[in-house]
Amino acid sequence: MNLTDRLRGARLVAALTGAGISTASGVPDYRGPDGVWTRDPGAMTAFTVENFMADAAVRRKFWRGWLGHAVWQAQPNAAHRALADLDRQGAAVRVLTQNVDGLHQRAGLAARKVLELHGTLRTTRCAGCPARFPTSEVLARVERGDDDPACPACAGILQPDIVLFGQLLDGDVLGRARRVAAASEVFLAVGSSLQVEPAASLCAVAARAGATLVVVNRDPTPYDAIAAFVLRDDIETVVPELCAAVTGTRLRPT
């Protein structure tokens, strides 16, 4: 059975999305040839919770790195829009995203249908108390010269609502993601290196439960061997075609 036939008529489509789905929106990835950590390997240290919490210099570099970052002006691209359109056309779409940019919601997918495995950049929390703030307010303080902004409520360390290396994923979010993966008929892994666990293991959860696993990524991944199909196509081109195949409209020959 070819890819078109495997996708046609699927009722629950889950998509695990990584940085590669947002590069066409101008958001740089991390591990690609021109990725943030490829160009500056030292930048990765700021994304480690131990370094972030212990070293004010690391936090200053971290916050400065988000000033004027492309993520704040990024718009959803054809791949984000295709997943949202597929949901509007009647398939039940659930996105399990490793991204923190909010572009799936901006493309029109309801927030309840997007599980942000690694959190969101849009809000910032205090490590010492329950306070939360829009990240835009925190960055405004950085722009004014407060380059290691502390919590105004308790003077604790502020961290965007993202999961740093060394921090655990939210157990409730991960549990819901595993249930979605196990229930899906089609599981698309799009634009992810599938090197970061436990998010990447959702591919195995889906495949074991009988879903058609389709990996769409520029480079090989650790989960290619268990995928029903592996596509190296341009994400902005292939994701709309995959979504169209679900509704029985169009897909390139396989």
Residue at 219: amino acid letter: D
Return the beta strands (E) in the chain as ranges. 12-17, 92-97, 114-116, 119-126, 132-134, 158-162, 186-190, 212-216, 229-231
Catalytic residues: 118
Whole-angstrom distance, CA of residue 30 vs CA of residue 82? 24
| Contact residues for 220 (Cβ-Cβ < 8 A; gap 6+) | none
Contact in structure between 74 and 27 (CB atoms under 8 Å): yes
166: part of which helix (H) or strand (E)?
A: none
